[in-house]
Amino acid sequence: MRIDPATLAHLRRDLMRRGATLATLLAQVLAGKQPPALAALLAQKPGKRPEEVLRLALDQVEACRRLLDAGDDRYGRCGTCGTDLGVAALGEMPWADRCATHAVM
């Protein structure tokens, strides 16, 4: 096992927290509000509507959660080249699904 069970539990908790935050932001946007926390996400995806950016981010979190819950070895690996992202990087961003080389800005 690449990642020990205690670390996986911690990563899952952080992943779920991220999903809850994104879902809250999406609800606010759909209600016609522009929450301040949204600015950083929008800056990463110029030209997209706020709800599109949030739905993409939620999809990414959900895909990672499904892999993690299934015990799939692809969790924590780059979806393009398969490189192991490492526990330190996942600790910072448990929803990461690309290595630095393949990360899309």
Segment 38-82, tens digit of pLDDT: 877 777 777 888 899 999 999 999 999 999 999 999 999 999 999
CB 38 within 8 A of CB 91: no
* This prediction's pTM: 0.86
The gap from C-alpha 61 to its chain's centroid, in whole angstroms, comes to: 4
Cα–Cα distances in angstroms (integers) from residue 4 to residues 8, 15, 101, in the given order: 6, 16, 26
How far is CA 47 from its chain centroid? 20
What confidence tier does 101 reach under pLDDT thresholds 50, 70, 90?
Answer: very high
Query: Which residues make beta-bridge pairs with 77?
Result: 84
Question: What mean pLDDT, rounded, does the chain reach?
Answer: 91
Residue 53's closest CA among 62, 63, 44, 65? 44
Q: Indicate the domain borders of the chain.
A: 5-92
